[in-house]
Structure 1
Amino acid sequence: MAATDVAIQLAIKGVPFRDAYRKAVPKEVKPLTKTDALRLVDARKSIGATGNPTTMAKNIKTAQDALLTFSKQLEGCSSWDAEQSKA
């Protein structure tokens, strides 16, 4: 388990994060299993968190939906239709 993850667990239990992190740093000695690593990545759900598959999938779906909506709004627009006929 990464030191930050240990610190977060301690902070959830009421230990100030600064103190929790200092206590957690020496505990970073054993390698993570694949299951542990996936669980730790999946636990990061804050905006801008990297690597969370669920969050990334939702963001991709939102972007795809927005693109589809925008494309539908452009249909019938003469300049859009002219560009599409060139392709």
Structure 2
Amino acid sequence: MTVLLDPPLWPQHGRLWSHLVSDVSLDELHAFAERAGIPRRAFDRDHYDVPDERHDELVRLGAEPVDARDLVRRLRASGLRVTARERRA
């Protein structure tokens, strides 16, 4: 299982957010999120948005902390990345 988590760097709604992704499959990602109690509404096509206060907990549950560039690189390499063009479509 390889679920990746970047640092909480992304501001939105008055807080910072991390991205939780899998570089293996969306099924793996959804299963991890369900075990961690992350609501499905936090899923955005190829990742879950998670608030900064959950970061350490998700690492303890098995998410691999990576920097944002590595997360995107590995997500692209997996073929699971949804591009900006695909998001607009």
TM-score by length of 1: 0.27
Higher alpha-carbon Rg: 1
The TM-score normalised by the length of structure 2 is 0.27
- The structure whose residues are more often helix, as a share, is 1
